[in-house]
Each structure stands twice: as structure tokens, then as C-alpha cells.
Amino acid sequence: MPPIFLIKAASAIVGNRLAKAGAWVIIAAVVALGLWGAISWFTGTVEDARTDGVEQGVTTERAATQAEVIKNVEKANEARNDVRDPRACAAYDECMRSARSAANCVRYLPHDEGCPVQSGTGGGDR
């Protein structure tokens, strides 16, 4: 049996004859509104948590990618410095990758004869 105040409210809305049915409709409407509110709140909370997780994952991924980029730039700078260093064999090795003959790269050999020389070159005398 619905509460008395609902029966009085329902009888004011639909009349005395349908007061009990009106009270049950009011109860059902309140329950449905409560369920709708709870589901909306839960869905919003889950969506917020998902969005926060995605944002945190993106931030973590960006930081890791940025660290990797910095390492790659450092390696590239070291390689560039090695190629430009006249005492290192890196310039000779770089030339050997693209040269048609080893004789074309003799000018990149350092004077200290520390580089392994390809056959067909004269060595480190410029």
C-alpha cells in the first residue's frame, strides 16, 4: 500500500477513483528517476575515469618517446662528431659505404694508421 501522502497527492492529480493507481505511478516515476540519475552518474564517473586514464597514458607515452628522441639525437651528434674528427676512422668508413673504389676514400684516412685499410688503397699518406 502506498503511503497516505502519495494517495492524497495522487487524488489531487487524478481524482479519488484512481488515487491508488496514481500513487503507484508516482512511486514508479520516482524510482525510474532515481535509477536514471544513478545510471547517469555511474556512466559519467566511468567516462571520466577512462578519459583520465587515456590522458595519463598519452602523457606517459609522450615522455617515453621524448626520452627516446633525445637518446637518438645524442647518438646522431656523437656520430657526426666522430665523422668530423680527423683522428677517427669514421669519415673513412662513411666514405667506404658509398664510394665506388677504396682509392677514393684515402683522403679520409687518419695519419696514425689506426684504421683498417681496404685493399687497393695506399694508406694514410695524403
- C-alpha 116/C-alpha 109 separation (Å) is 9
pTM listed for this prediction: 0.41
User: Can you say whether the dihedral through the CA atoms of 24, 30, 31, 32 is positive or negative?
Assistant: positive
Q: How far is C-alpha 110 from the geometric centre of its chain's CA atoms?
A: 46
- C-alpha 20/C-alpha 58 separation (Å) is 57
Provide the pLDDT for residue 111. Answer: 67
- C-alpha 114/C-alpha 92 separation (Å) is 11
What is the domain partition of the chain in residue ranges? Answer: 4-75, 85-126
User: pLDDT tens-digit profile of 33-81?
Assistant: 999 999 999 998 888 888 888 888 889 999 999 999 999 999 999 888 8
- C-alpha 85/C-alpha 42 separation (Å) is 64
Evaluate whether 114 touches 89 at the Cβ level (below 8 Å): yes
Q: How far is CA 51 from CA 47, 62, 90, in A?
A: 6, 16, 49
User: pLDDT tens-digit profile of 7-43?
Assistant: 677 677 666 666 777 777 888 888 999 999 999 999 9
